[in-house]
Amino acid sequence: MIRYGDRIALLREKHALTQEELANKLGISRAALSHYETSRREPDYETMNKIASFFKVSTDYLLNRSNNPEAVLDEDVRDFVDSLELSDENIMEKFALTVDGRKLSAEEAKRFIAFVRAERSLE
């Protein structure tokens, strides 16, 4: 199975860039890029998005969730995901939330939401 680091390295090589050149374009160190390419370190969310945007591929492609580099959520789906409100009862009825492959019960989902709200109130 191909790893995210392999995908990053392949994309960099396909675009005839050195690690130093790509690192500069992404605003990261060459050492960090090297760690990403060898899968010794995972890029954070922001860096993963920068890499995907730079190469015009989806993050799903980088993370090996898709073999199609152009596969991205269409605008309607992206808007839906961005505005999803988990405390909405209708959403909870239509979609199954899972943890470790097991569906959360309605009570577990409510406790999860309560936990997040409590944690946010401490900020």
Nearest 5°: CA angle at 26, between 24 and 30?
Answer: 50
- How many domains in the chain? 2
Task: Provide the residue range defining the domain that includes 16.
Answer: 4-62
Residue at 115 is within a domain: yes
Question: Are residues 68 and 61 in contact, defined by beta-carbon separation less than 8 angstroms?
Answer: yes
- Report the SS3 class of residue 79: helix
The residue to which tokens 């808007």 are assigned: 79
Residue at 67 is within a domain: no
Position 123 confidence tier, pLDDT thresholds 50, 70, 90: low
**What pLDDT does 99 receive?**
81
- Whether residue 37 has pLDDT greater than 90: yes
The upper half-sphere exposure of residue 82, i.e. CA atoms within 13 Å in the direction of its Cβ, equals 7
Residue at 92 is within a domain: yes
pLDDT in tens, 55-93: 988 888 888 777 777 765 566 665 665 566 666 666 667
- Whether residue 20 has pLDDT greater than 70: yes
Q: Which residue has the higher pLDDT, 76 or 114?
A: 114
The answer to whether residues 25 and 56 belong to one domain is yes
Q: Amino acid identity of 106?
A: A
The answer to whether residues 10 and 52 belong to one domain is yes
Residue at 84 is within a domain: yes
Residue at 112 is within a domain: yes
Indicate the pTM of the whole model.
0.57
